[in-house]
């Protein structure tokens, strides 16, 4: 089933060129983050990442709307993306604040039971045991908000319902996404290495000690300004191909799940009488 939806995602992406717009935007923003990080450091760049993530929500929502309506127009991408913007964003904000609250509670409890000394590594591991399953369970809240036309908490409940009823299929989905990301990274890493072979050639003469102590900052210094721009181009093209495919794959996978086993949230059933009054069964 997982690969069937992947084939459908490839087909939909190939026949709808407008779906590459989110990839182009993500590629430009990703390349810009890389360049700014190397020029100005992390303090300025980390703040831009938050802004860029909020921008991408518009295009993610718009992509879902295009697939939902089977409409390949750029107008749909922007107008419907703006219409569903907060329906896609708010569930993730709710989850973010819940996870931050959980992390704060874990830190507080550890501080109480350890006499004021906190092991941040242990606290992080404990928080991850809660965070990872939570993110998996609510992962389809944004697709539920668009395809099932649900609001914040209803979309979270729908995502939990879908995942709980199709646990192994969802695990297969995540494994497939990881494989796609790895293949994409590997392909462009090979191209990057071929383009910068002359600058990276000294690495072949390093001994084990030198390689063990080699840092990313040293790598950036080794490839120089030219290598920085080559890396930015590779980041751009990597996102151009990967982002549209993953977003479309998520949409087609959710459509398949909700149409083959995970029903939407049940609505109240009943009928109106002759005077227009509603009676719930």
Give the per-residue pLDDT at 265: 37
Give the per-residue pLDDT at 26: 96
Residue at 96 is within a domain: yes
Residue ranges in the chain whose pLDDT is less than 70: 1, 72, 115-118, 260-281
Give the per-residue pLDDT at 211: 81
Residue at 266 is within a domain: no
Task: Print the domain residue range for 27.
Answer: 2-257
- Go through 244-277 and write b for each residue having 16 or more CB atoms within 10 A of its CB, e for each that does not: bbbbbbbbbbbbbbbeeebeeeeeeeeeeeeeee
Residue at 99 is within a domain: yes
Give the per-residue pLDDT at 273: 54
Residue at 232 is within a domain: yes
The token pair that represents 73 in the structure block = 């127009």
Residue at 274 is within a domain: no
Q: What is the mean pLDDT of the chain?
A: 86
Residue at 276 is within a domain: no
Residue at 184 is within a domain: yes
Residue at 167 is within a domain: yes
Q: What is the pLDDT of residues 228-265, one digit of tens each?
A: 999 999 999 999 999 999 999 999 999 999 873 333 33
Structural domain count of the chain: 1
Give the predicted TM-score (pTM) of the model: 0.84
């Amino acid at each position: 089933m997982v690969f069937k939806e992947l084939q459908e995602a490839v087909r939909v992406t190939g026949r709808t060129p407008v779906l590459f717009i989110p990839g182009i935007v993500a590629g430009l923003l990703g390349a810009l983050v890389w360049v700014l990080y190397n020029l100005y450091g992390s303090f300025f760049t980390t703040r831009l990442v938050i802004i860029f993530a909020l921008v991408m929500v518009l295009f993610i929502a718009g992509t879902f709307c295009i697939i939902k309506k089977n409409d390949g127009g750029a107008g749909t991408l922007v107008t419907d993306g703006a219409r569903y913007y907060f329906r896609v964003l708010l569930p993730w904000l709710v989850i973010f604040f819940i996870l931050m609250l959980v992390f704060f509670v874990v830190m507080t409890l550890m501080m109480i039971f350890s006499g004021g000394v906190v092991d941040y590594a242990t606290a992080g591991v404990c928080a991850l045991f809660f965070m990872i399953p939570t993110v998996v369970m609510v992962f389809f809240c944004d697709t539920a908000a668009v395809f099932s036309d649900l609001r914040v908490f209803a979309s979270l409940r729908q995502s939990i319902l879908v995942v709980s009823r199709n646990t192994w299929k969802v695990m297969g989905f995540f494994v497939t996404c990881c494989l796609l990301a790895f293949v994409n990274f590997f392909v462009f890493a090979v191209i990057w290495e071929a383009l910068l072979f002359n600058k990276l050639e000294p690495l072949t003469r390093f001994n084990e000690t030198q390689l063990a102590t080699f840092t990313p900052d040293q790598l950036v210094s080794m490839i120089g300004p030219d290598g920085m721009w080559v890396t930015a181009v590779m980041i751009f093209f990597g996102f151009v191909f990967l982002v549209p495919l993953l977003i479309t794959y998520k949409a087609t996978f959710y459509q398949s799940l909700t149409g083959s086993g995970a029903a939407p949230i049940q609505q109240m059933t009943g009928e109106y009488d002759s005077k227009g009054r509603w009676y719930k069964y």
